[in-house]
Amino acid sequence: MSSHNCRSCRTGTHREGFASTGRAAQTGLVVVLAMVLTAGAAFAGSGEKKVATSVCDAHRLKEMKALDPHLEIEIPAEFDKKFPTASACNSHELAQDVEAPGPMQPIPFSHKHHAGDFEIDCQYCHSNTDESRTAGMPSVEVCMGCHGQFPKEYDELEGIQTLKEHWEKKEPLVWKQIHRLPEHAKFRHNRHIKAGLECQRCHGPVETIEKLSLVPDTEYWQYGLPTHKLEMGWCIQCHRENNQQASQDCLLCHY
């Protein structure tokens, strides 16, 4: 608590101000709730029915119905299916959100859905990262290794359609690069993976992100160096914090 001693505190005259503010906020909340309830009642009374136009749409309508029992919905038989699942539909939509940070990829791939919900290991898709100095990018063959076994209903998703088109035409997916170091700096993924470094240390909590983008910069001004992500100061700081496991010689990264 603050120990200030203003006149209003001593006399208690500003307590009325707090009370007035509280009443105003409470009144505003009541008004908003009334508007919501009125709108809901009007909608329910209108007899308007929401009809699903896809399996994903059916999942959304069922969720809306669970929140609002008065909502009238209709799920045609061809859309009343389990697959694609509600979580797959949701992640597919969020991964292609144009307003979310990050570039639009050739298919809306959700790291949260794959690495988070299904706990797929990073190196299953980014293969040979523990052996190569560069991180492997997932090929169409790797993706189809799983999706080729999924129910045909998943073809409703645009991303799966694009994936299978590339598979049939034997065309690679051209992923848009997100993390790029300057040409004068060298980074070896294999050495860091073998040293036990988690992918999230540099790339952030990808298992919680639907649409991947550059992780926010961390800013510490230790050792006289700016430490933005993927800058020299950030790398040096990491080396120093890990018991000098890696050399700080200039030629280690600049060669």
pLDDT class of 255 with cuts at 50, 70, 90? confident
Q: How many other C-beta atoms can be found within 10 angstroms of the C-beta atom of residue 104? A: 13
Closest to 215 (Cα-Cα) out of 205, 225, 226: 205
Greater pLDDT, 103 or 215: 103
139 touches 125 (CB < 8 A): no
pLDDT of the residue at 190: 95
User: Quick one: DSSP state of residue 129?
Assistant: T
Amino acid at 119: E
Prior bond of 172 cis (ω within 30°): no
pLDDT of the residue at 218: 66
User: Quick one: DSSP state of residue 176?
Assistant: P
Mean pLDDT for the chain overall: 81
Residue 27 has pLDDT above 50, yes or no: no
pLDDT of the residue at 9: 37
Angle at 117 between CA 210 and CA 193, to 5 degrees: 80
Question: pLDDT of 73-90, one tens digit each?
Answer: 999 999 999 999 999 999
| Domain coordinates in residue numbering, the chain | 27-79, 86-212, 216-255
Question: pLDDT of 127-180, one tens digit each?
Answer: 999 999 988 889 999 999 999 999 999 999 999 999 999 999 999 999 999 988
pLDDT of the residue at 222: 64
DSSP letters, 206-221, are GGG-SS--PPPPP---
pLDDT class of 47 with cuts at 50, 70, 90? low
* Cβ-Cβ contacts under 8 Å for 106 (sequence gap 6 or more): 162, 166, 173, 174, 175, 176
Give the 3-state secondary structure of residue 248.
coil
Closest to 57 (Cα-Cα) out of 32, 33, 78, 38: 78
Of 59-68, 123-132, 154-163, 240-249, the range with the lowest mean pLDDT is: 240-249
Give the 3-state secondary structure of residue 116.
helix
